[in-house]
Amino acid sequence: MKYISKPKVVNAVRFMGEDEGVPDFVSVKGTKLPPSQRVARYWNKLHDSELETKYGDWILYTDDGDRWPCRDSVFNQTYEPYTKPFEMPQM
């Protein structure tokens, strides 16, 4: 049997080492370091764990509290801007 994952619309912000533009739940660590050496830390409420995103990678999050890091290369292969409702392919 074959399966396809259900589409999920996510919020995403690319972490570039600054506080500006990141969600309120993110804490930037290493502020005395150059931006490329800083990390973003945040709590994933859904899985009860602390996560970290490095410079240039993405912070993905949903409205239900799920949050996770995503490498830029994976993000660019996996996600695209949400412009209209997703249509499931016919099998």
Indicate the pairing of strand 58-61 with strand 49-54: unpaired
CB 72 within 8 A of CB 57: yes
pLDDT value of position 37: 96
The per-residue pLDDT for 86 is: 61
pLDDT digits (tens, 9 = 90+) for 45-59: 888 999 999 999 999
Strand order through the sheet with 49-54: 27-29, 39-44, 49-54
Tens of each residue's pLDDT in the chain, 91 residues: 988 878 888 999 999 999 999 999 999 999 999 999 999 999 988 889 999 999 999 999 988 888 999 999 999 999 988 887 666 666 6
